[in-house]
Structure 1
Amino acid sequence: MKIAKKLGQAVATVTLGMSLSAGAMAGEVNIGFTGPLSGGAALYGENTLSGLRMAVEEINAAGGFDLNGEKTTVNLVSLDDRYSPAQAATNAKRLKQESNVSAIFVPHSGGIFALQDFNEKDDFLLMAYSSVPSITEKGNSLTLRIPPTFDGYVRAFTDYALEHQGKKLGMGGATHEYAKIWGSMVKKEWESKGGEVVSDTPMDYNKSADFFTGVSRIIAEAPDVMFVGGASEPTGLVVQQARQMGFQGGFIVMDQAKIDEVAKVAGGLDMVEGAIGVVPLSVYETDAAKDFIERYKAEYGKMPGSEAAYNYLALHALVEAMDATESTDPKTLRAAVGDALKSMDVSKNPYEVTEVTENGGFVTETTLAVVKDGEIVREEID
């Protein structure tokens, strides 16, 4: 009996040790990330992750935050899902089971929708970096949408293109779920305002580097404007190949791609003349944005994109909420992030977001930029 009792105590000790090693260490909280870190969208995933890493480094360098009277640091646990919703779901299960994360950041709509099937049951906060409107219309009580919804972009971009560039649109967006939703909304908006869609040829931006076949089909229909967009790097290749094949019209660039990043891949701003897209962070004139850009460039040696800035501020707000509530409970944090955005230091908030809607969306203004005479120019939206 004594042997059996000792064996049972030993097993219990080993099990407890495994649990502690799988989860956060004492004085440490785990935050999860699943996103594309390989494949065609790898740069997009890395840009997102860089903003999270920068926030974690700053929080920990400052001594962490208070949790139940104890100074606590943040550990970021990141997994590659190659832009696959199924892999994102698998990663999320692993992050919860092995690392006991209270929140998981996901930068693509397919993965977000997959995680919404079980995040309430599994009790983790879903930090959604995607502008698909339905993400916060599904009634999921543990979802926060970080960027603004793209329906405002769809209206503004199509209005500008129809007024300044022509009536014929060639559709050349990506094939992942987010791009398909964007594309269907653009097509509907374009046709409802009297425009004509002359070609609809979606392409797999995540696997291909040679888009000549798809682009040639679009250009053969002589569009005035091309709708393009996935991650910035493959979008730049699509634009480059369109120009090489003689296309001289404008581009409607889906908000996932950033004009300045697209231009670098395509061969310069002259290659994206007439492109319409979101205002890149590099064009923002606020002190908070300029300060973030300077610190990010010092850390990573390059200009940050919006995915880095938005996820940076979102993680700071999440930890601010943990500090204020002294809790890592997902429901408590979901309710506290709005106040955290208002109270956090503006230097941690490059987009100066101060409000969260009742259904969980960060409130940010819709912006529009266009490339004119080789420069990115911000345009006012009516």
Structure 2
Amino acid sequence: MKRLNQWVIPFFATLMLVLLAACGGASTPANTPSSSGEQDQTADGEAGAEVVTIGFSGPLSGGAAFYGKNGLSGLEMAVEEINNAGGIEVGGKKVTFKIEALDDKYQPSETATNAKRLVQEFNAPVVFIPHSGGIMAVQQFNEQDQFIIGAYTSEPKVTETGNRLTMRIPPKYDGYIEPFIQYLMGRFGNKVALVPGTHAYAKDWTELFRPAWEAAGGEVVAENPMDYTTETDFTSGVSNALSKNPDALFVGGPSEPTALVIKTAREQGFKGGFAVMDQAKLEEMAAVLGGYELLEGAIGTLPLIMSDAPGVAGFVEAYNSKYNKNPGSEAGLHYMAMHIVAKAMEAAGTTTDVQAIHAHIQTAIDNLDDKHRLYYITGIDDAGGLVHDVRIAAVENGEVVAIPVK
């Protein structure tokens, strides 16, 4: 028995080592970071393509989840299109993309944590963030950590910091304020109550809207901000504002809670108009409210489906087919921005040199296919903001009507 043990035990020990070594090749996690990206197959089956992760940190739960998921859907559609077409070619090599999306619950501290993870764990060269508080938190380190912020916010401050690796996607919101005020004063009167959200973006909007209203000869009769991201009952806040008999209400946050604020005001007998901060969309609120009746007199951004940009019709059809609803600007602008990023990588000849990618955004915009042009974006300014005009609309007699901006 002793002689048997002398060879049996070493034999089985050796066998176990061989089996473990054979299994080891399959134990590498799929998202292990790599300086050159993952190696995979393109959508049409070509082996050896590089797979680049595009990061997203936004609200995917809570009161702003509808807003965050709409933006994410545009990125996902763009990536799906690119990959189904065989990817892009960068430096003679095929590249495809995947999206890694993390929920930040609209909390800037969570956004910062997510961005660090997306870069360190997934090597994301670009992280899309759809709220100004999170963007400004991440701007504290994105240049040092070498990644581009795809900044979905019209907050002017994000491109006034000197951050050279930010791409602001929507137009600055300060272009909306004057035409909003002119319309509401002309149609309803000069008294306004401010009932925006409490998040950073709403606060900044309010800080510009309030003095502009007063400078135009108006009166701010009440100011009662509410937490649009956590509250679901706005009765008390709206009641306090309406007790001052305003002609118009300034509202704003993600579309779903903003719609509930407007509904609450109508239920309490308010007959006036609404200045709708550009974060909320008329068409998305109409979907929540069952039509435009309660939105009469609201002025906000022009719905994407009303745009005459060359790629809109095809995008709307494809989006409807996939999601069974019309897309808003969150989806449309994220979709177009992703195609711009892909074109910039092609033009720069790299997926990792983020300075070069950012430097080729203008070239990417110039070379973008018409089918991907959902907005009349003409370039990127020196501060990192995409250049395009504001386009607005109002609800009149139950219909959305484009309002010319002088």
Task: Report the CA distance between 1:367 and its aligned residue.
Answer: 1.4
Q: How far has the Cα of 1:66 moved from its partner? A: 1.3
Counterpart selection for 1:163 from 174, 180, 186: 186
Q: 2:32 aligns with which of 8, 12, 21?
A: 21
What is the CA distance between 1:165 and its match in structure 2?
Answer: 1.4
SS of the residue corresponding to residue 380 of structure 2 reads coil
Larger radius of gyration: 2
- Does residue 380 of structure 1 match 2:404? yes
Per the alignment, do residues 63 and 268 of structure 1 end up closer, same or farther by CA in structure 2, a change over 3 Å counting?
Answer: same
State the TM-score, normalizing by the size of structure 2: 0.88
Q: How does 1:1-382 map to 2 (within 5 A)?
A: 21-23=32-34, 24-26=37-39, 27-328=50-351, 329-382=353-406
**Distance (Å, rounded) in 2 between the aligned partners of 1:78 and 1:20:** 13
Partner of 1:276: helix, strand, or coil? strand
Task: Give the partner amino acid of 1:334.
Answer: H
The answer as to whether partners of 2:310 and 2:373 remain within 8 angstroms in 1 is: no
Q: Following the alignment from structure 1 to structure 2, what is the Cα–Cα distance between the partners of residues 337 and 17?
A: 35
Report SS of the residue matched to 2:387.
coil
Q: Which 4+ stretches in 1 moved above 4 angstroms?
A: 16-20
What whole-Å deviation, never above 9, does each CA across 1:105-145 have from its counterpart, x for those lacking one? 00000000000000000000011000001111110010010
Identity over aligned pairs, percent: 47
Distance 1:157 1:91 in 2: 36
One-letter amino acid matched to 1:97: Q
Mapped partners of 1:299, 1:339: distance in 2: 30
Distance 2:310 2:171 in 1: 21
Q: Secondary structure at the match of 2:208?
A: helix
Consecutive unaligned residues in structure 2, runs of 5 or more: 1-20, 40-49
Q: 1:25 is matched by which residue type in structure 2?
A: E
Do the aligned residues in 2 keep the contact of 1:172 with 1:226 (CA within 8 Å)? yes
Distance 1:194 1:274 in 2: 20
**Cα distance in 2 between the residues matched to 1:381 and 1:147:** 17
Three-state SS of the structure 1 residue aligned to 2:394 is strand
Counterpart code for 1:50: S
CA distance in 2, matches of 1:184, 1:63: 47
CA RMSD of the aligned region, Å? 1.6
Q: Compared with structure 1, are the counterparts of its residues 163 and 21 closer, same or farther at alpha carbon in structure 2 (3 Å cutoff)? A: same
Determine the C-alpha separation between the residues in 2 that align with 1:224 and 1:123: 49
When structure 1 is superposed on structure 2, of 343-352 and 263-272 the one drifting more is 263-272
Q: Which amino acid aligns with 1:193?
A: A
Match of 2:221, SS state, is strand
Give unmatched runs, 5+ long, in structure 1.
1-9
CA contact (8 A) 1:239 1:266 kept: no
CA separation in 2, counterparts of 1:205 and 1:250? Answer: 20
The alignment's TM-score, normalised by the length of structure 1, stands at 0.94
Deviation at 1:359, TM superposition (A): 1.0
How many Å apart are 1:286 and its aligned residue?
Answer: 3.4
Aligned to 1:4: none
